[in-house]
Structure 1
Amino acid sequence: MTDPLLSVRDLAVEVSTRRGPARVVDGVSFHIGRGEALGVVGESGCGKSITTLALLGLLPPGARVAGGSARMEGKDLLTLSRRALREVRGGRIGMIFQDPMTSFNPVLKIGDQLIEPLIYHRGMLRREAWARAGELLRLVGIPGGASRLDNYPHELSGGMRQRVMIAMGLACEPPLLIADEPTTALDVTIQAQIVDLVKDLRARLGMSIIWITHDLALVSGLVDRVIVLYAGKIVEEAPVDDLYARPTHPYTQGLLASLPTLEGEETRRLPAIGGTPPDPGRRPAGCPFAPRCPLRVARCESEMPPLVAVAGGPHRAACWVNAKPQELAA
């Protein structure tokens, strides 16, 4: 492939605990091409959001980058100064956060919040930025368009607030948009509208998208590739159609098996993955999924399997049993 827009290598993030540092992101590597959509999937606490927050220098207190690199447009995002990162945020990387109600300033009109990145990154005058903000609201399908700029966040519905958050992420037309579970708090009808909106904007603007979610069904028609995270590690990566057709890691298989379908008996109970993810401060010596895995063998509990190609293609998985690394036969 051509040079990727973003290339992350061996990213590690640690958080401080009473027992010492705990690694919540452990050696994560991935890339995203120009115009590509990448899905990042996993249950709560697997390291999805904190991975992207590390790229933008937005880690919460007590968390720090412990290693790795993240190169975009010739720069390592992890080594940039605070001032340089402010130029990246909004200007080169847009962000849609999970809950827009807690991401907006409740005492400022949405127009004042929308024009801020335009004035800071594009050097627009207030009148010019205000007009552009109205265009952005129309772009994301806000009824009334520019007339809504004088509204406060609490005056909008959840779906409309999320659309405004998307407009803010798109304001400077960044080449990369990160969407961090942007439909979690929305009902299924509004969720479908937001997904269709993002797909349409990607086609029109040609931007790359990282879509973070715990819902594998949601990304099926939205992204080109999927990486599956578990306990801060990538356990599977594949083109989206291949992942659904041939899930290899037992964790991915469990996630897909738990999705409801329109086929089969009405009384069929959805299978669940037993147990809970490991405590980051007490990670198992081997595969972190081993305590919950129905296919585990002795080696799973003592050695972490490498992420290897499945059948020689772009599909990769980290599993001693299903992926059959060469080391398994050794």
Structure 2
Amino acid sequence: GADTVMDLSTGPDVKETRESIIRHCPVPLGTVPIYEAVQRAGNVPEELTWELFRDVILEQAQQGVDFFTIHAGVLREYLPLAERRLGGIVSRGGSIMARWCRVHGKENFLYEHFEELCEIMRSYDVAFSLGDGLRPGCVEDANDEAQLAELRTLGELARRARQSGCQVMIEGPGHVPLHRVKENMELQRRYCAGTPFYTLGPLVTDIAAGHDHIASAIGGALIAMEGCALLCYVTPREHLGLPTVEDVREGVIAHRIAAHAADIARGIRWAREWDRAVSRARRELRWDDQMRLFLDPETAKRRFAEVNADGTKTVCTMCGREYCAVRIFSESSPPEEAQ
């Protein structure tokens, strides 16, 4: 399962929906308060006010939300940089704040009232997830001026949040080609003083619709190996529509595999021991133990049963008994020592 849950609900019943999720959620729950604020403003972003937003986060904090995504780094001066992009702005929260700034000709009110935000967050022990409203929405825009300008601002805001006694992490991209993933992590460290990084993938190609959980897991494994603290999963239905329950399951599994692969690469002992246990069971053809140890036993058991109809628990049908390398090697006698 997941280590955290985000409630990205929109619509008229968000408060009741969130209350139900909080009652049943066994892990930290995050929200994007700007969504409910816009709904209360009649779904017209320019009707937003600081006072309305403040009321929303106070109510959500009192409900028991654990962390808020706050798009305080989308500054008015950065909007021309986003205009020059291939993909523009793809963050919902980022686009809402960009529109508000343009219509009113004013600075982002979340940035202007950041000290007040810190007071509320500290009072209710809610953590900041500083949203990357200018994250790249295609690999062509990765590490561009708009993304990095916002990242520097998020680093500044993270410092201010810590000084105010608040917990904070920073959201990252997005869409980043493989050869620029490491650079992303290095820049985040440089600008954000080691603040935990939380990335949306990143997806390493834009052509994988229908399989975007794979494109995302590839980037996630690489950036986690470089030091990313938290991976946001992507489902196979990303860029196509709302996911089904099965889509969610596939996305979570893909990203747990990515995170585990990164843990191995970073030398985390328990991760390596888990793989060793699987390998020992595999060498000894202990199928029941293998199934228990796999990340997704349900799928492994189903796929094994589909092609091993005779119910054998000695070898699989990939090689069959005659050509099973594991069996052949284990049944061979060690060579006699030279006299």
TM-score of the pair, normalised by structure 2: 0.33
More helix by share: 2
Higher-Rg structure is 2
